[in-house]
Structure 1
Amino acid sequence: MTDGLDDGVVMVETTRGGRTECVHRGHAVVVDAGGDIVEAWGDPALVTYPRSSAKMIQALPLVESGAADAHGLTPRQLSLACASHEAAAIHVDAVNDWIATLGLSDDDFRCGAQEPRNKAVRDAMIRAGDSPCQVHNNCSGKHAGFLTLNRHLGGGPDYEKVGHPVQQAARAAWEEVTGETSPGYGIDGCSAPNFATSMTGMARAMAAFAAAAGGHGGRSGTRTEAQARLVEAMIAHPEMVYGEGRACTEMMRAAGGAAAVKGGADGFYAAILPERGLGVAVKLADGGDRAKDIAMGAILARLGVLPEAARPRFVDRALTNWRGVEVGRLRATGALA
């Protein structure tokens, strides 16, 4: 049962030899600062898991509880709390330094060990005969945030459990900013619960972050300040959110401060547009990373926050073979143009 997942709009296609070779269906919603749908493709009511695209929401209790300030967290660390980093040295060193200030070690994480996504780090580790640690997990920045919040709340060691105060705080924030009671959760790759929401709910949450960071609607208060700080941290330190050359990082750089974007596993993407007061949620039915970058890039270009110079990577990309010969295109369809 797909619950409507496959009923989406054809958003991205690949062509080769003048023929369409693949199509990628998906769903997307753009919501404004007032919580209203501006544009939608597919089913705005589709309920799914935002996966790592929701890390900004999961980091909200870290900031609004006072834990971030109590432990002197910097904007660079706040960006790591929202990150799916590639475990380059800048990420691993920063996370290790962070948990050391808490008097904690790699053993205190609950995210699990993961082979580094950064090729240089991975290859060096193989040559040295070393094994990956939990700090190499792409979610270790988020978990460092969980550990910091847990220290502030005085909870037990199993902070990843759905009934733990850390995750209860995350769920409360999740439901408040999406404006929906979550119908349930799934366990993410890093062992933390990921709460289901509708496409509109996720876009509504991103619009709330955008309104906070962009000063729309005269909002104020602890939550507004926390949302603004997280968005500003991501935009100021895009290299911490993923890594050099990676889509999230490069898309934010291309947008020049006009967007904070965050990809998630299995075809999800979210974007926060502070200047426009807009939130965007995208879900590709086939879960493909290759297509989701194009879908989000096309929507950001449509909304005027991605420049023409970024189109060759994020809207209409050449496909090359092993000899570097262009053999086709990976591009957004007319539905997103």
Structure 2
Amino acid sequence: MTQPIPMVEIWRGDLLESQHLGHAVVCDASGNVVEAWGDDEKVIYPRSSCKMLQALPLIESGAADAFGLTSEHLALSCASHQGAAIHTDRVQVWLNDLGLSVSDFRCGPQRPDDKEAHEALVRAGKNPCQIHNNCSGKHGGFLTLNKHLGAGSEYVEVDHPVQRAAKAAFEEMTGERSEFYGIDGCSAPNFSTSVTGLARAMARMAKPSGSDSRAQASTRLVDAMRAHPELVAGEGRACTELMRAMDGKVAIKTGAEAVFTAILPEQGLGMALKIVDGGTRAAEAAIAGLLVKYGVLDENHPMARKRMYGPILSRSGLHAGRIRLSPDFIQL
């Protein structure tokens, strides 16, 4: 099948009000497709769902060890955080340790999604800065690698050594040549791949082959994400809540425009999905459904039910509708 399939449905009363269509692939570490829905060769931008791949050169180059990075740093390098103090305080210390400042970032300022952090800025009459950007941890990794390489300051340019290293790792892990790139929200290049290529890369991180620097880097990044789910996203966020619900056995990562990936080390599997209309609620429901289907997430866990069956309420709290997985996708 080359067309997207219905994955998530929105019901209001007895009427199917909306459908979210998408593509999804599960791969094993050999690169084989275990199961697929929609068009498994659909070319997409993975957006932030591939930050783990972009962080591989940080470790492989020796930069992470040269600058004494901990598992918290590595988790932040894979993060799309919400700008809470738990995130920004750590990134600020990281910059200080590098002898750099917020002005060295190229990710751009962003209002923190964390309510407490946002309100604190308002009360203080301050504007958000680049450290509040949800990608500031990734850019902390870029700056660390850049300092290790002794390269120029414009590290987000596609031909910069940092981005050349990121692209090389990306293509090697996906097993595909990236034909084009787009500029992500944080100004860094985001390289294209198929949904299968993205799932293949996640499977290779789940079960790295050999004991070389790539395998070690993959393991360290996945372990960091599983150990620090609160740093990867934040309170109330799907990545954090679902990783906690799986007791740290699986690493998952969202990306803008409804991309989601999952790394299942015990099963040696990788997952990738893309919701065509870019709907976040559908991507969260779909990844939860896949994780339940493959036995790593309890269907009855409150965080699973929140994503797959979460009620839609009126503003006065009345039950108005419901989310559910399409039977064309997964029947649990």
Looking at structure 2, the residues matched to 26 and 291 of structure 1 have their Cα atoms a distance apart, in angstroms, of: 9
- Equivalent pairs, count: 327
The one-letter amino acid of 1:317's match is G
1:263-283 per-position Cα deviation (integer Å, ceiling 9, x unaligned): 000010000000100000010
Amino acid at match of 1:195: F
The letter of the residue matching 1:28 is A
How far has the Cα of 1:120 moved from its partner? Answer: 0.9
What is the match of residue 94 of structure 1?
Answer: 90
Provide, for residues 268-310 of structure 1, a one-character-per-residue CA deviation record: whole Å limited to 9, x for no partner. Answer: 0000000100000010000011111001100110011111233
Per-residue deviation, 1:128:
1.4
Partner of 1:300: 291
Deviates more, 1:104-113 or 1:302-311: 302-311
The one-letter amino acid of 2:280's match is D
Output one character per residue of 1:99-135: Cα deviation in whole Å (capped at 9) or x when no partner.
Answer: 1001100000000000011011111111211001100
Deviation at 1:256, TM superposition (A): 1.4
Equivalent of residue 111 in structure 1, options 102, 107, 111:
107
Q: Distance in 2 between matches of 1:282 and 1:243?
A: 22
Equivalent AA in structure 1 for residue 322 of structure 2: R
Equivalent AA in structure 2 for residue 333 of structure 1: S
3-state SS of 2:312 partner: strand
Deviation at 1:314, TM superposition (A): 2.4
Report the Cα distance in structure 2 between the residues aligned to 1:83 and 1:309, rounded to whole angstroms: 27
What does 1:193-272 align with in structure 2 at a 5 Å threshold?
Answer: 193-212=189-208, 219-272=210-263
Q: Which runs of structure 2 are paired with 1:1-337 in the superposition (5 Å)?
A: 7-212=3-208, 219-310=210-301, 311-334=304-327, 335-337=329-331
Amino acid at match of 1:8: P
Distance 1:200 1:308 in 2: 25
Q: CA RMSD in A?
A: 0.9
Shift, 1:323, TM fit: 1.6
5+ residue gaps in structure 2? none
Secondary structure in 2 matching 1:262: strand
What is the one-letter code of the residue matched to 1:221? D
Distance 1:43 1:336 in 2: 16
* Preserved contact between residue 260 and residue 283 of structure 2 (Cα < 8 Å): yes
AA of the residue aligned to 1:20: L
2: CA distance between counterparts of 1:25 and 1:328? 19
| 1:215 alignment counterpart | none
Relative to the length of structure 2, the TM-score reads 0.97
Structure 1 runs of 4+ aligned residues shifted over 4 Å read: none
Q: CA contact under 8 A between 1:312 and 1:318: conserved in structure 2?
A: no
The range that moved more, 255-264 or 156-165, is 255-264
Which residue identity is paired with 2:9?
A: E
Unmatched runs of 5 consecutive residues or more in structure 1:
213-217
